[in-house]
Structure formats: structure tokens, C-alpha cells
């Protein structure tokens, strides 16, 4: 059993912190909106805190799950200042690799371990404790943190030094973007051709075209339903990070850049909070 703090109780962080309690850890939580912390405390056997400093007091492990680079800095810096030497911070935010490396340095200067650990699996993965976690950092720190992370993860892997977890998450989002655009075009074509989508999926869903997105999103796309998790606004944030990094390292992401623009079209349609499978909307409702 470990003393843990969880900072950020959004769609992902809320159930993740709950899994830590279920695994037997002592958990304190903090969220910008205090009522969310109070709600969590009412559901789980943990402690809601009014400040970051209170939440991380005597913590051995601190989990962060917030929005973007500025949020990570805003939360991590006071946590580092308040933590004792030997503690470990695990940042589950999808952020830039530069942010990860900078916070890693700040933490190490204070005698604190730091792992960048972005997650994949969506809200369902967080609720069911079945997330995939891509980590960057020092081996010894990772080996200490991995048993704690396993409370809400089905797979956790150290990808390399600080920043490698974030770079791997970029690869994840690049692949998802291309897959979803292909699936959107396939569904659109099937609709225009007058095919029964369920029959199409039965025919092609066990072959080379099969993917998680096809298994879980093709039918809902065909029904024009886009309320299933990861929002377009967040995907554009993630793809923006990937595209900036690609420019820095000289990687050619032609398709990713196109799909990012397509998500911009979806935002222009008012689809900021639609899930990422909503790429079909711009094909069925052209400008």
C-alpha cells in the first residue's frame, strides 16, 4: 500500500484515482473545481483536498492528469516544491516531449523522480482499468512506479528516456487519425452505394481492414452518433503537438496534416465536443 495523490479529476483522472483506492492505496485528490473533488470523495474512500500542497503531503507517488503543457507546469511546479525527496511524479497528461523533459529536470533537481506517462484507451479504458500507458524516464523510477500504475492499466511500457512516452503517444494519435479518416471514407462510400453497413462489417471486419476503430465506431458512425469519448478539440490539441514535433525533427506527416485540417472543418460545424469518429460528418455534410 502506498500514499498517493491524484491531481486532475477529469473524464480520465476521476476513475483512475478510484482504481488506486480499489487497489488498496491511500489516495488524496485535488481538482481545480473543488466540487469535483468532493464528489469523488463521496464515491471513494479517499481524501478531497483544497490545495495541491495538501494533496501531495507525505505522498510517495503523485499522478497528474490535466489538459496541456501550461496545465502540467502549473500543477507540477507546486507539487515538486511541496514533495519530499524520493517521491515520484507520474504525468498522464498528453503533452509535448519538451514539457516532459523540462519537468523531469525540475523534479530531479529536487530529488524527485518523474515519468511522462500518456495514456490510451479512452474513457472506457479508464473506467474499466484497462488503459495502455507509454512511459518515458529512468528505468529505476519506472520500475517503482509501474506496480502503482497497474491499478488502472492493462499494459505499461517504458519507451526510453524522458519524453519518449510523449513521443510514443504522438505515434498513437498519428495512426488513429489516418485510420479514422479511412474508416469515415469507407462508411461514406458504403452509404452512397446503398450497402447494409452491418453486412459490410461482417464481410470485412475479420480481414485486413479490421481495426479497433472499425469494431467500435463504424456502426455508431453509420447511425450519425458521435458521443463516444475523446473529443475533436482534444484530438486537434494532440495532433498539433505531433505536427510541431514533426517539423522539429524533419518528419513528413502529410496525411496527419490533412486530417488535422479536416477536424478543423468539424469544429467549424460545431463539432468541438463530438468524438473523433465525426470525420464522417464533413463527408455527409459538405460545405
Query: For residue 132, with 0-12 CB atoms within 10 Å meaning exposed, 13-18 middle and 19 or more buried, which class applies?
Result: middle
Q: Looking at the structure, do residues 143 and 173 belong to the same domain, yes or no?
A: no
Q: Looking at the structure, do residues 137 and 185 belong to the same domain, yes or no?
A: no
Q: Looking at the structure, do residues 155 and 20 belong to the same domain, yes or no?
A: yes
Q: Looking at the structure, do residues 36 and 155 belong to the same domain, yes or no?
A: yes
Rounded mean pLDDT of the chain?
A: 97
Q: Looking at the structure, do residues 123 and 261 belong to the same domain, yes or no?
A: no
**pLDDT tens digits along 94-142:** 999 999 999 999 999 999 999 999 999 988 899 999 999 999 999 999 9
Q: What is the DSSP string of 19-76?
A: HHHHTT-EEEEE-SSHHHHHHHHHHSSSEE-SSHHHHHTT-SEEEE--SSHHHHHHHH
**pLDDT tens digits along 19-61:** 999 999 999 999 999 999 999 999 999 999 999 999 999 999 9
Q: Looking at the structure, do residues 139 and 105 belong to the same domain, yes or no?
A: yes
Q: What is the CATH number of the domain that holds 174?
A: 1.10.1040.10
286 has a pLDDT exceeding 80: no
User: Average pLDDT of 193-207?
Assistant: 96
Q: Looking at the structure, do residues 138 and 270 belong to the same domain, yes or no?
A: no
- Residues classed as catalytic: 169
Q: What is the pLDDT of residue 17?
A: 98
pTM of the prediction?
0.94
Compute the distance between CA of residue 93 and CA of residue 156 in angstroms, rounded to an integer. Answer: 15
**pLDDT tens digits along 129-174:** 999 999 999 999 999 999 999 999 999 999 999 999 999 999 999 9
**pLDDT tens digits along 203-252:** 999 999 999 999 999 999 999 999 987 899 999 999 999 999 999 999 99
Q: What is the pLDDT of residue 287?
A: 64
Number of compact structural domains in the chain: 2
Please identify, among 113, 129, 161, the residue that sits at the C-terminal boundary of a domain: 161
Compute the distance between CA of residue 38 and CA of residue 60 in angstroms, rounded to an integer. Answer: 22
Angle value at C-alpha 203, between 198 and 206, nearest 5 degrees: 105
Q: What is the pLDDT of residue 285?
A: 83
Q: Looking at the structure, do residues 19 and 65 belong to the same domain, yes or no?
A: yes
- In sequence order, the 6+-apart residues with CB closer than 8 A to the CB of 100 are 91, 114, 116, 136, 162, 163, 165, 166
Domain of residue 225 covers 167-284
Please identify, among 161, 181, 197, the residue that sits at the C-terminal boundary of a domain: 161
Compute the distance between CA of residue 129 and CA of residue 95 in angstroms, rounded to an integer. Answer: 22
User: Average pLDDT of 83-101?
Assistant: 97
Amino acid at each position: 500500500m502506498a500514499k498517493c495523490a491524484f491531481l486532475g479529476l477529469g473524464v480520465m483522472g476521476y476513475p483512475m484515482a478510484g482504481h488506486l483506492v480499489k487497489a488498496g492505496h491511500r489516495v488524496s485528490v485535488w481538482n481545480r473545481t473543488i466540487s469535483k473533488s468532493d464528489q469523488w470523495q463521496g464515491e471513494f474512500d479517499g481524501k478531497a483536498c483544497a490545495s495541491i500542497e495538501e494533496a501531495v503531503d507525505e505522498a510517495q507517488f503523485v499522478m497528474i492528469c490535466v489538459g496541456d503543457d501550461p496545465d502540467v507546469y502549473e500543477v507540477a511546479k507546486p507539487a515538486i516544491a511541496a514533495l519530499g525527496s524520493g517521491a515520484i511524479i507520474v504525468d498522464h497528461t498528453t503533452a509535448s516531449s519538451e514539457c516532459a523533459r523540462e519537468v523531469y529536470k525540475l523534479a530531479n533537481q529536487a530529488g524527485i523522480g518523474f515519468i511522462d506517462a500518456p495514456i490510451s484507451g479512452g474513457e472506457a479504458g479508464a473506467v474499466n482499468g484497462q488503459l495502455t500507458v507509454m512511459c518515458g524516464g529512468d528505468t529505476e523510477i519506472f520500475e517503482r512506479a509501474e506496480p502503482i500504475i497497474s491499478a488502472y492499466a492493462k499494459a505499461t511500457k517504458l519507451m526510453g528516456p524522458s519524453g519518449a512516452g510523449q513521443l510514443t503517444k504522438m505515434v498513437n494519435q498519428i495512426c488513429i487519425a489516418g485510420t479514422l479518416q479511412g474508416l469515415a471514407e469507407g462508411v461514406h462510400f458504403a452509404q452512397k452505394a446503398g450497402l447494409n453497413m452491418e453486412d459490410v462489417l461482417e464481410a470485412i471486419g475479420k480481414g485486413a481492414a479490421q481495426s479497433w476503430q472499425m469494431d467500435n465506431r463504424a456502426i455508431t458512425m453509420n447511425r450519425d452518433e458521435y458521443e463516444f469519448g475523446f473529443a475533436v478539440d482534444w484530438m486537434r490539441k494532440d495532433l498539433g503537438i505531433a505536427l510541431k514535433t514533426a517539423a522539429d525533427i524533419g518528419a513528413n506527416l502529410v496525411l496527419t496534416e490533412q486530417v488535422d485540417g479536416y477536424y478543423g472543418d468539424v469544429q467549424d460545424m460545431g463539432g468541438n465536443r463530438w468524438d473523433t469518429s465525426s470525420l464522417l460528418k464533413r463527408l455527409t455534410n459538405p460545405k
